């Protein structure tokens, strides 16, 4: 699939109706057609409301663990409106195994993988960073870094969970009409895995950004005002910038001609994620949606965001596939022409040889 070639995967998760929506007698407006039906939105994977946390992790995110342990970078981020299930998908409930989200499951998997390696020659260093309310600065080499953050060296999943919990306490939330605990800031969780092979002196470093984005909001529905309104506008602008970066990366990966400009510097978030988006990095976009009729417009907006990425992939991939097939057809036509010319030459040689044989036989008869 195109998503595999350009290392961008888009999945969608639809949560069940919540208590507030049921009290408002809101109906579920999301339908899941069969494979034989026409579909308005198509993604690499779609998770229905009854999908467990484990199922979402295994089928959407688990593959990225081995990739990071091989020294590559990756990013997983949850995108959707306020109260669509992003934090539940990314973090879940840390102290309940069945309800843990992607971040704690990835952490556990990384430590499990490391424990299976022969540690006599390998040395591992795992550091984590958990940050909200992003403030970014550039060093003298114009490399962006997050201000006011100290990376923590960790030796167990429990230590990582503590870092997550500490970061959660600092996350700015506020009450809106859409959500009683609406996140007003992006939450970025970074795992650095450094490997050192003592015997070969080979060193590998993989980075994995796990991002719980602030909600994309219809400002009119939230009744936000003052500082909250400014925050909502800034968050929406940041999400818009992220969408532009993703689309530009898709074009860059699938285009053989001049490479498009990637607008990483348009927001703090995209500046931070620069090293883990594009190139050899893997990106997994998880669209989180509410099925409720009262959220229909915002759900459609979320789905269209993911569909734009997929359509970009599909259109460019078919174009490239068509161009490759044309090149292949041209090569085959050239080979066929050469073969026909060679066959014609052999026919001439065979006719000439038959004539020589006939002449020699005629001389012997005389």
Q: What is the pLDDT of residue 33?
A: 80
Contact 94, 141 (CB under 8 A): no
Q: What is the pLDDT of residue 239?
A: 81
Q: What is the pLDDT of residue 232?
A: 63
Binding residues: 80-87
Q: What is the pLDDT of residue 109?
A: 93
Minimum mean pLDDT range among 44-48, 108-112, 168-172, 233-237: 168-172
Contact 75, 61 (CB under 8 A): no
pTM, to two decimals: 0.73
Widest Cα–Cα separation across the chain = 117
Q: What is the pLDDT of residue 136?
A: 59
What average pLDDT score do residues 173-197 get? 63
Higher pLDDT, 312 or 272: 272
Number of H helices, E strands in the chain: 11, 12
pLDDT at 178 over 50: no
Name the CATH superfamily, with its identifier, for domain 2-320.
Kinesin motor domain (3.40.850.10)
CA separation for the pair 89, 75 (Å, rounded): 15
CA separation for the pair 301, 289 (Å, rounded): 10
Q: What is the mean pLDDT of the chain?
A: 79
User: What three-state secondary structure class fits 99?
Assistant: helix
Minimum mean pLDDT range among 33-37, 136-140, 256-260: 136-140
Binding residues for ATP: 80-87
Segment of 127-136, 213-222, 357-366 carrying the highest mean pLDDT: 357-366
Q: What is the pLDDT of residue 278?
A: 72
């Amino acid at each position: 699939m195109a998503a595999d070639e350009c290392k961008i995967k888009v999945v969608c998760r639809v949560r069940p109706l919540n208590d507030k929506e049921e009290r408002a007698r809101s109906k579920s407006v999301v339908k899941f057609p069969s494979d034989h039906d026409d579909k308005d939105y198509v993604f690499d994977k779609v998770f229905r409301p009854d999908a467990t946390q484990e199922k979402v992790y295994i089928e959407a995110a688990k593959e990225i663990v081995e990739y990071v342990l091989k020294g590559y970078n990756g990013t997983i981020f949850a995108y959707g409106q306020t109260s669509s299930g992003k934090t539940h998908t990314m973090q879940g409930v840390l102290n309940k195994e069945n309800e843990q989200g992607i971040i704690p499951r990835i952490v556990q998997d990384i430590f499990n993988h490391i424990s299976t390696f022969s540690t006599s020659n390998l040395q591992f260093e795992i550091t984590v960073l958990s940050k909200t309310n992003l403030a970014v600065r550039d060093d003298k080499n114009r490399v962006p870094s997050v201000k006011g953050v100290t990376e923590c060296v960790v030796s167990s999943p429990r230590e990582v969970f503590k870092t997550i919990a500490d970061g959660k306490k600092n996350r700015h939330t506020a009450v809106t009409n859409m959500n009683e605990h609406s996140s007003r800031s992006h939450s970025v969780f970074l795992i650095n895995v450094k490997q050192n092979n003592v015997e070969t002196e080979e060193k590998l470093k993989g980075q994995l950004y796990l991002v719980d984005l602030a909600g994309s909001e219809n400002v009119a529905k939230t009744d936000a005002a003052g500082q909250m309104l400014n925050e909502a506008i800034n968050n929406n602008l940041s999400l818009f910038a992220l969408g532009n970066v993703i689309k530009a990366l898709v074009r860059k990966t699938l285009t053989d001609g001049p490479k498009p400009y990637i607008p990483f510097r348009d927001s703090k978030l995209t500046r931070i994620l620069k090293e883990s988006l594009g190139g050899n990095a893997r990106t997994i976009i998880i669209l989180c949606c509410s099925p409720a009729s009262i959220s229909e417009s915002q759900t459609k907006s979320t789905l269209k965001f993911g569909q734009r990425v997929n359509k970009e992939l599909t259109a460019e991939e078919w174009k490239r596939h068509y161009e490759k097939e044309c090149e292949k057809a041209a090569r085959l036509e050239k080979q066929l022409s050469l073969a026909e010319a060679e066959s014609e030459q052999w026919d001439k040689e065979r006719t000439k040889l038959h004539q020589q044989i006939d002449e020699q036989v005629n001389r012997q008869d005389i």
